[in-house]
Amino acid sequence: MDIKVVNQQGEEIKQEYKEAKEPETIAVKIDEYMLPSIASIFDLKPNEVDQYKEELRTLYEYAKTQTEERTPEALKWVIRSLQGQIGSPPFGERWITYLNRYVKLRMEKNKIEEEIKNFER
């Protein structure tokens, strides 16, 4: 059902239609925003973020596979819950390196299982 605008004589008044524009989005680089946010889980200082950039990126990629939400809170929640699942790192090893090693193994395992399924089809 269309709604028409009319004047007092009942004649239709032509309306101008403006196309709805999509809101402008600002592209945020992963390094600028997400990595320092994830680094806060491990109490890394800002100068240490560069040192652990690869580990943080690996954890970020893993977290994206575990949740559809892309907010920093959701991604950090995935990583925190993983910390609870695998237990404490050995004495002297940092959480970030311990968790990163586990995530790499887990992602490699998933990739291998996927490839095996492709062969078995």
At 30-50, the pLDDT tens digits run 656 889 999 999 999 988 999
With 0.85 as the threshold, say if the pTM is over it: no
Q: Which domain holds residue 46?
A: 30-120
Terminal-residue alpha carbon distance, the chain: 51
Report the distance separating Cα 4 and Cα 116, nearest Å: 62
The whole-angstrom distance between residue 64's C-alpha and the CA centroid of its chain comes to: 5
- Say if residue 74's pLDDT is above 60: yes
What pLDDT does residue 6 have? 81
In a domain, 8, yes or no: no
In a domain, 47, yes or no: yes
Q: Where residue 71 falls among pLDDT bands split at 50, 70, 90? A: confident
In a domain, 106, yes or no: yes
The whole-angstrom distance between residue 107's C-alpha and the CA centroid of its chain comes to: 16
Query: What's the domain count of the chain?
Result: 1
In a domain, 61, yes or no: yes
In a domain, 7, yes or no: no
